[in-house]
């Protein structure tokens, strides 16, 4: 499921967090991509679990691993996809196992609740993403 791939890109949007400066809140529909350098997060760590809500309202989970792999699942734990991820400039790119091509996504700046929108190469919003703990509870973010 390619749509889950941008969950990791959501991780990139969290790169705006970790600064001592208080960022101005941006609406979720902003088209401005966040600063997404890997080392710019509070911990420099992009790993974790992300909840991705697709435009049609469906929800998937994505686990981003430190070894450069990811696993997408349904909320009930059923695996739907796995592959590798990498950062390419301001985007997160996901290469699923099998014949599906790699796709890259950019994340918008996180809102006050930590959610951000993922955009495809054409600038279309594809999903709303938030980092969660392993149980699906919103993770604490320091902004």
pLDDT in tens, the chain (143 residues): 444 444 444 444 444 444 444 444 444 443 344 443 333 333 346 789 999 999 899 999 999 999 999 999 999 999 999 999 998 877 889 999 999 999 988 887 788 888 888 888 888 888 999 998 765 555 544 33
Q: What does the alpha-carbon distance between residue 142 and residue 101 come to, in Å, rounded to a whole number?
A: 34
At 66-106, the pLDDT tens digits run 999 999 999 999 999 999 999 887 788 999 999 999 998 88
- Would you list the DSSP string of 83-117? EEEEEETTEEEEEESSSPPPEEEEEBPP-TTS-EE
């Amino acid at each position: 499921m390619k749509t889950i791939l941008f969950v990791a890109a959501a991780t990139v949007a969290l790169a705006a967090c970790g600064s001592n400066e208080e960022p101005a809140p941006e609406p979720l529909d902003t088209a401005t991509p966040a600063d997404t350098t890997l080392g710019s997060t509070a911990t420099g760590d992009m790993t974790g679990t992300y909840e991705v809500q697709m435009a049609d309202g469906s929800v998937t989970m994505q686990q981003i691993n430190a070894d450069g792999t990811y696993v997408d699942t349904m909320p009930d734990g059923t695996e739907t996809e796995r592959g590798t991820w990498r950062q390419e400039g301001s985007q997160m790119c996901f290469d699923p196992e099998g014949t599906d091509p790699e796709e890259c996504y950019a994340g918008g700046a996180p809102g006050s609740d930590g959610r951000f929108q993922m955009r495809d190469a054409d600038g279309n919003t594809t999903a709303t993403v938030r980092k969660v703990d392993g149980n699906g509870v919103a993770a604490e973010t320091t902004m």
